[in-house]
Amino acid sequence: MAERMIATRTYVIVCIVLIVLTVLTVGVSFLPLVGIWHTVIGLLIAACKGSLVLLFFMHVIHSPRLTWIVIGVTSFWVVILFVLTLNDYLSRGMIPFTPGH
């Protein structure tokens, strides 16, 4: 098959980086951050880890364009799901209740 191979060494290095990022994300939870920063940093590190798994372990880096389209479309639907729903939840109460309208 025409697919390009990734060296075993690369897989091992990716796995080590993923473990280091896991230690980092647990470490950050002990820093005295305020507000939503724990969530933001935790999700940023998770996004880095997820990208590594997708690109190397799931071979997206060498996948046909059709696979990229499926991932793009999935991301688009997830964005719709989150943005439209949170748009409702977060904006409730912003407009004062006016009886009769």
Residue pair 21/49 in contact by the 8 Å Cβ criterion: yes
Token digits for 59? 């071979």
Taking the complex as a whole, how short is the minimal distance between the CB of residue 84 and another protein, in angstroms? 10
Residue pair 52/18 in contact by the 8 Å Cβ criterion: yes
**DSSP tag of 97:** P
Complex with another protein: residue 27 or 99, whichever CB lies closer: 27
Complex with another protein: residue 35 or 96, whichever CB lies closer: 35
Residues within the interface to another protein (CB under 8 A): 1-3, 5-6, 8, 11-12, 14-15, 18-19, 22-23, 25-26, 28-33, 36, 38-39, 42-43, 45-46, 49-50, 53-54, 56-58, 64, 66-67, 70-71, 73-74, 77-78, 81-82, 85-86, 89-90
Complex with another protein: residue 89 or 97, whichever CB lies closer: 89
Q: Which residues of 21-46 are buried (b: 16+ CB within 10 A; e: fewer)?
A: eeeebeeeeeeeeeeeeeeebeeebe
Complex with another protein: residue 66 or 94, whichever CB lies closer: 66
